[in-house]
């Protein structure tokens, strides 16, 4: 009864990467014992870019299967599809009316995504942080697990909630960002200065959770490092090898100093293979479970329908309170 509430989600825009797993899902799994967890598949957020409808539907169910295969237990956490809970869109409209244009124009992700999708700079791309605020505030979340790149959106959510509370009285809980430590931001293998991304167009830059072992090995062998050939963590001067050390540390639990000692004098070639092997072993049971789940669509439907009902029960209480406070007839 006294557990703190967690809300987080991932967009259904394609196969998840090792970065999504180590930076988000693997940590979500650990939170299940200590928090009241709500994990959504953020399909509404994907609409800011053009999607093939069949691909979006398939990606949504793939993501649901990957959540469960990676260890998110539907008996311990509530898993649901965002669009199945209409309160997200309803609250987003109301919160839009309490959010300032200047606040949204300062969002760095809007600038980044506008540059990537210059032919489709739509209003949804501009206002989606308000939908994200609605996602969080509907469930009265205490904590929001995010990477550093999303921290700005949680700060905006806090500002909106505080503004609304100041006008109408205590309505929303003020959430805090929950940023994990090691490997919270896995970088690309070919561009270690940028976050590993599902949408990267650089060959061999991302490890996808469904990659076969030989593909994973090949990608790690081609990972960009430097000419020093010394396994040493230095994020500024050696971003490539530092990224590999972070990945190895996150999976094995070994500290960076121990890893440096373990591979002292062994060079990058041997270390890259070792990182690949530990990733392959880590992903193997998840990949097997994922295949089983994809062969059982009835079970997946049962999970997302039950999750939506649970989410609606929570969300409608917040939405009703907001409607009454702003003067809408409920």
Residues known to be catalytic: 113, 195, 198
Cβ-proximal residues to 65 (8 Å cutoff; 6+ apart), any chain? 290, 293, 294, 300
Strands 78-81 and 36-42: parallel
Q: Find, among 305, 313, 238, the residue nearest to 271 by Cα.
A: 238
Taking residue 77's Cβ as centre, other Cβ atoms within 10 Å add up to 22
Q: How many CA atoms lie within 13 A of 269 on its CB side?
A: 0
Collapsing DSSP states into helix, strand and coil, what is residue 126? helix
Cα–Cα distance measured from residue 314 to residue 134, given in angstroms and rounded to the nearest whole number? 13
Taking residue 37's Cβ as centre, other Cβ atoms within 10 Å add up to 25
Cα–Cα distance measured from residue 322 to residue 89, given in angstroms and rounded to the nearest whole number? 13
Collapsing DSSP states into helix, strand and coil, what is residue 57? helix
- 183 dihedral zone (left: phi>0; alpha: psi -120 to 50; beta): left
Taking residue 170's Cβ as centre, other Cβ atoms within 10 Å add up to 8
Q: How far is CA 312 from CA 278, 316, 318, 319, in A?
A: 40, 6, 10, 10
| DSSP code per residue over 183-242 | TSSPBPSS-TTSB--TT--STT---BTT--HHHHHHHHHT----SS-----BTTTBHHHH
């Amino acid at each position: 009864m006294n557990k703190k509430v967690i809300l987080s989600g991932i967009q259904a825009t394609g196969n998840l990467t090792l970065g999504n797993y180590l930076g988000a899902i693997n940590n979500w799994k650990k939170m299940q014992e200590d928090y009241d967890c709500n994990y959504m598949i953020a399909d509404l957020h994907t609409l800011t870019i053009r999607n093939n409808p069949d691909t979006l539907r398939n990606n949504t169910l793939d993501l649901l299967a990957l959540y469960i295969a990676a260890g998110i237990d539907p008996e311990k956490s509530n898993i649901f599809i965002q669009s199945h809970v209409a309160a997200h869109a309803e609250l987003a409209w109301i919160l839009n009316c309490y959010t300032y244009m200047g606040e949204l124009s300062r969002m760095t992700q809007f600038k980044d995504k506008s540059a990537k999708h210059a032919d489709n700079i739509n209003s949804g791309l501009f206002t989606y942080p308000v939908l994200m605020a609605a996602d969080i505030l509907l469930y009265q979340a205490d904590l929001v697990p995010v990477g550093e790149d999303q921290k700005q959106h949680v700060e905006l959510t806090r500002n909106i909630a505080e503004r609304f509370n100041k006008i109408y009285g205590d309505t929303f809980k003020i959430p805090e960002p929950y940023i994990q430590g090691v490997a919270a931001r896995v970088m690309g293998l070919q561009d270690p200065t940028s976050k590993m991304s599902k949408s990267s167009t650089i060959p061999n830059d991302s490890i996808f959770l469904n990659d076969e072992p030989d593909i994973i090995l090949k990608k790690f062998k081609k990972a960009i490092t430097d000419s020093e050939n010394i396994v040493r963590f230095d994020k500024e001067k050696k971003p490539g090898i530092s990224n590999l050390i972070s990945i190895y540390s996150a999976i094995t639990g070994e500290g960076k100093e121990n890893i440096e000692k373990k591979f002292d004098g062994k060079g990058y070639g041997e270390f890259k293979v070792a990182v690949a092997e530990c990733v392959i072993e880590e992903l193997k049971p998840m990949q097997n479970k994922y295949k089983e789940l994809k062969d059982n669509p009835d079970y997946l439907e049962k999970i997302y329908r039950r999750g939506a009902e649970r989410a609606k029960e929570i969300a409608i209480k917040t939405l009703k309170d907001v409607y009454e406070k702003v003067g809408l007839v409920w």
